[in-house]
Amino acid sequence: MADREGEGDLSFDYAAWAGLRRHREMFPNAAETVAIPESARSAWSEWMPRVFAGASAARLNELNPSLPGADHNAQVLLLGRRPLDKALYEVVYELNSRPNWAPIPLPAVRALTRSSPQGGAP
């Protein structure tokens, strides 16, 4: 369970959706709220994991280059594992804890199931 909690913390797509949703709730009529395109949220969600993985790998390599996962490719692999499992965990968590937040992780589940050739985990 601790592993899954950590994976939930690394969901940048989830963070982007939650932040955008909260902004829209707080400022529903503000011009900048209406102007925030879906593409901006999506671009941030795709960019942040790469930045995070790169910074994590650089720091690990700085601390001890012989550590497993210290190189960038290993970090990307470690941080990107089981993305569908993570997204489904987030849906279940929200359904049990905050049902009105369940729509936040659902787009990730849809995207991940569409991106797989058999409709399963990529």
Any idea of the CA torsion for 55, 103, 99, 22, to the nearest 10 degrees? 60
Q: How confident is the model at residue 120 (pLDDT cuts 50, 70, 90)?
A: very low
| Per-residue pLDDT at 74 | 66
Hey, where are the domains in the chain?
Answer: 1-36+82-122, 37-81
Helix residue spans in the chain (DSSP H): 2-9, 12-26, 31-35, 38-63, 72-79, 83-97, 106-115
pLDDT tens string 32-91: 777 777 778 778 877 887 787 778 777 877 887 776 655 656 656 665 556 777 788 888
Convert the pLDDT of each residue in 72-82 to its tens digit.
566 566 655 56
Q: How far is CA 117 from CA 16, 46, 79, 107, in A?
A: 26, 20, 22, 18
All residues at 6 or more sequence positions from 71 whose CB lies less than 8 Å from its CB, including other chains: 57, 61
